[in-house]
């Protein structure tokens, strides 16, 4: 509790860091905030061509929304993933990038990785707003689900912050972490039902049954991936326009609390040694 009070007392510094990153990111650009849409739109076009037209993932229509638009279905999972991966990768290098500041000035170091969460969330909110408008134009009915969507976004932000705190400490002691993290995230996106429906995994799991004669199934292992459940909630709210399974909410809450708690514990233990380690 004492550490949380210290973090809260640094809220003004955190706000200033977030504001600096938000203002500086698109400074002196013509299109400004619109550039935040370029990466997800480019990925959407690539994945739509490869998985929507060539391999034909064919996700089921939204239930009960009736939406059957692959690019929108894709974005409902892709935008949360981009937010998560961006937070984790930028948080991982936040302490090393500010080594000079850490060694010269006394302040709560946790605001450095947390500031990347705030600045990335700012862009993410803009992207999600554009997606919601596109869903409405396509015939979806998202307005009643916006409060729950905000809750889901907050849970994912807490989960991403916890993972980011862990990797920020790892990077201080092992500089290879950032390079390994890039590889890990490449594997992770394909182990998450973002560019293909989870029904493909379910069908393969049912076909093979228990692995090596055990009750453990492919789907059971697959469900250990926390992003599977976060993506499911976002798709059900935005694309299907229905209340997500309560079990999915519970799993996401547990993962968010566990990641944030463990991340802060590791960060607090190593924070006094950061100046020396850097």
Q: What is the mean pLDDT of residues 107-113?
A: 86
Q: How far apart are CA 261 and CA 267, in angstroms?
A: 10
In this model, does residue 247 exceed pLDDT 70? yes
Q: What is the mean pLDDT of residues 18-45?
A: 72
Q: Is residue 171 part of a domain?
A: yes
Give the residue among 244, 196, 204 at the shortest CA–CA distance from 77. Answer: 196
Across all residues in the chain, what is the average pLDDT? 88
Q: What is the mean pLDDT of residues 200-211?
A: 86
Q: Is residue 217 part of a domain?
A: yes
| Confidence class for position 170, pLDDT limits 50, 70, 90 | very high
Q: Report the pLDDT value the prediction gives residue 167, as an integer from 0 to 100.
A: 95
Tokens for 35, please give them: 């550039």
Q: Report the pLDDT value the prediction gives residue 225, as an integer from 0 to 100.
A: 97
Domain count, the chain: 1
Q: CA 36, 82, 85, 118 torsion: positive or negative?
A: positive
Q: What is the mean pLDDT of residues 69-97?
A: 93
Q: Is residue 190 part of a domain?
A: yes
Higher pLDDT, 142 or 2: 142
For 105, the domain range is 37-196+208-277
Q: Report the pLDDT value the prediction gives residue 17, as an integer from 0 to 100.
A: 82
| Confidence class for position 210, pLDDT limits 50, 70, 90 | confident
Q: Is residue 201 part of a domain?
A: no
In this model, does residue 274 exceed pLDDT 80? yes
In this model, does residue 262 exceed pLDDT 70? yes
Q: Report the pLDDT value the prediction gives residue 153, as an integer from 0 to 100.
A: 97
Q: How far apart are CA 51 and CA 190, in angstroms?
A: 12
Q: What is the mean pLDDT of residues 132-154?
A: 92
Q: Report the pLDDT value the prediction gives residue 271, as an integer from 0 to 100.
A: 87
Buried b or exposed e, range 117-127, using 16+ CB within 10 angstroms: bbbbbbbbeeb
Residue 242: left if φ>0, alpha if ψ -120 to 50, beta else—which one? beta
Q: Report the pLDDT value the prediction gives residue 128, as an integer from 0 to 100.
A: 92
| Confidence class for position 31, pLDDT limits 50, 70, 90 | low
In this model, does residue 85 exceed pLDDT 90? yes
Of 32-36, 110-114, 274-278, give the lowest mean pLDDT range.
Answer: 32-36
| Confidence class for position 34, pLDDT limits 50, 70, 90 | low
Q: Report the pLDDT value the prediction gives residue 30, as an integer from 0 to 100.
A: 57
In this model, does residue 1 exceed pLDDT 70? no
Q: What is the mean pLDDT of residues 245-251?
A: 95
């Amino acid at each position: 509790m004492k550490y949380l009070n210290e973090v809260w007392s640094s809220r003004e510094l955190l706000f200033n860091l977030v504001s600096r990153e938000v203002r500086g990111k698109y400074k002196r650009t013509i299109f400004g905030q619109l550039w935040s849409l370029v990466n997800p739109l480019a990925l959407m076009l690539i994945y739509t061509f490869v998985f929507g037209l060539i391999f034909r993932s064919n996700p089921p229509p939204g239930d009960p929304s009736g939406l059957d638009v692959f690019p929108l279905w894709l974005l409902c999972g892709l935008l949360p993933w981009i937010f998560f991966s961006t937070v984790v990768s930028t948080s991982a290098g936040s302490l090393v990038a500010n080594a000079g500041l850490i060694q010269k000035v006394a302040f709560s170091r946790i605001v450095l990785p947390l500031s990347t969460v705030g600045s990335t969330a700012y862009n993410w909110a803009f992207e999600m707003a554009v997606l919601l408008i596109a869903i409405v134009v396509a015939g979806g009915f998202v307005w009643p689900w916006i409060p729950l969507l905000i809750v889901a976004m907050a849970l994912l932000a807490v989960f991403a912050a916890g993972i980011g705190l862990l990797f920020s400490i790892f990077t201080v002691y092992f500089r290879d972490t950032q390079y390994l993290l890039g590889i890990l995230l490449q594997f992770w996106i394909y182990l998450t039902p973002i560019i293909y429906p989870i029904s493909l995994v379910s069908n393969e799991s049912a076909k093979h049954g228990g692995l090596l004669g055990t009750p453990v199934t492919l789907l059971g292992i697959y469900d250990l991936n926390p992003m599977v459940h976060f993506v499911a909630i976002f798709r059900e709210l935005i694309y299907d326009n229905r209340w997500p399974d309560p079990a999915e909410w519970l799993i996401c809450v547990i993962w968010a609390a566990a990641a944030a708690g463990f991340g802060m514990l590791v960060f607090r233990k190593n924070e006094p040694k950061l100046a020396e380690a850097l």
